[in-house]
Amino acid sequence: MDIELKYGTGKIELHVPEMVEVTILEPQARTPVASVQEALQNALAAIQPCHPSFMQHRNKEFSAAIAIPDETRALPTSEILAGLYDWLLSSIPYLQPGRITIVIGGGLQSQDAQTDISKLVPAHIISNCKIIRHNASKSQVADYGRTSNGTPVYLNQAFASGDYKIVVGQIEPHQIAGFTDSMSGMVIGCSNEATIEHNHSLMFDDNARVGLLHGNPVREDLDEAGRLIDVDFAVDVVLAPNKEVVEILAGPPADNLAKGAKIAADLYGVTLDEKFDIVVAGCGGYPNDISLYTAQKGLHLASQAVKAGGHIFLVTALPQGDGKDIYFDYVSQFTTPEEVLADFRKQEFNMEAPKAYLFGRTFCEFDVAVYSNLDKGILKKCHLRAANPSQVIAEWLESYTDTKKIGVITDAGTTYFRT
């Protein structure tokens, strides 16, 4: 049979022999909102324009700061910003457009592999407001103290200087934080290396896993950091696998996360009766397969559906290559995944190693091959085997004498499994 998977901005077709029993593992369907702008305005209607933050600054030049994610998130950021901008100016008559700052949070993503700002921010907002791309290693930051876990909370100074602070983000499953949201996007996307590194050092706790919020140390650390920053309100979006908006929430970040995580869990949490010897996993297309650094999440989540010692074939376009220089520079020092794990265990936590560690752990537990546009030499240095899907799947199938079953994950970047 032929299987169609999303691949970058297009699709790719893979062939699986007819004698094989194929199970498609995919998210649930959900009706999208009829209009993004109407859904946004309905959500914003709950925000009170007479908030104390508005009133106490009436006699000075009131400012607003909005944190948004970069292009590695699929939400319709430009459309949301357009509606939010209009709402701000109509709700706060004394707010001047020039006093609105928009900070694009990219965390530790490579700064030279990013799209034009015009793809994230409408032209009329670019011309009227201050737009800043946050750089975790270079941007000035404000110090908000430490969480109870000891994470130093540093945040982009321009955002911290806003009288009224708004965060925009996406709620979806995350491999170590349970679920992402606008607050976690801001804390990681608009902070510096010290904040990101310490928060991510909590990832080795057994409760730092997809789908879990309460008791998850990574998630709870992010929430505490967000409370220290004291954001006024958040706009959070839940997307269907086809990138259509199914929910828009506006209000306190914690309320948005509680509601949005339930919706995302219903969408992307798939019940798994049995694991498979072979899994073919598509990351879900752009932007979930934008780089190897991003595609790691899809590989990790897909591994939950594979028997110990089984096989994973990953389909991921990787238009931005490995996606992060320090990751490639680190992992390419070693000839095997086992060497990566050994080096990681003997050193203090640092941001060069976590993705390499997560990749290496999967490579040591499963046989992994990949189909992508990335140069085979680069893939090899990252310990990945480039392969023709039909050939390698046939090769794997020959090693099994019993009933041949394959699991196909259509959106491995967001789908997670519950047994």
- The yes-or-no verdict on residue 8 having pLDDT over 90 is yes
- Domains of the chain are 2-27+269-418 (3.90.226.30), 36-239 (3.40.50.11440)
Q: Say which residues have a Cβ less than 8 Å from residue 409's Cβ, sequence separation at least 6.
A: 25, 26, 279, 280, 281, 282, 301, 302, 305, 415
> Which class for 254: exposed (0-12), middle (13-18), buried (19 or more C-beta within 10 A)?
middle
Q: How many residues does the chain have?
A: 419
Percent of the chain with pLDDT over 70: 93
- What stretches of 114-178 show up as alpha helix (H) in DSSP? 123-128, 157-160
Residues 1 and 23 sit within 8 Å (Cβ to Cβ): no
pTM: 0.89
For 206-260, how does the pLDDT look when each residue is reduced to its tens digit (9 = 90+)? 999 999 999 999 999 999 999 999 899 999 999 999 899 999 999 999 999 999 9
- The yes-or-no verdict on residue 53 having pLDDT over 60 is no
Least confident interval from 107-111, 158-162, 164-168, 406-410: 107-111
User: What pLDDT was estimated at residue 113?
Assistant: 44
Q: What is the mean pLDDT of the chain?
A: 90
Q: Please report which confidence band the pLDDT of residue 58 belongs to, taking 50, 70 and 90 as the band edges.
A: low
Residue 286: phi and psi, rounded to 5, are -65, 135
CA distance 113 to 6: 22
Section 140-168 average pLDDT: 96
- The yes-or-no verdict on residue 110 having pLDDT over 50 is no
Extract the runs of DSSP E, i.e. beta strands, from 183-318. Answer: 233-239, 245-251, 269-271, 276-282, 306-315
Q: Please report which confidence band the pLDDT of residue 410 belongs to, taking 50, 70 and 90 as the band edges.
A: very high
Least confident interval from 48-62, 235-249, 350-364: 48-62
Residue 250: phi and psi, rounded to 5, are -135, 130
The first and second tokens of residue 326, run together, are 């320090």
Extract the runs of DSSP E, i.e. beta strands, from 128-219. Answer: 130-133, 141-146, 152-156, 164-170, 172-174, 178-180
Section 255-279 average pLDDT: 95
Which has the closest alpha carbon to 418: 5, 27, 13, 138? Answer: 27
- The yes-or-no verdict on residue 112 having pLDDT over 50 is no
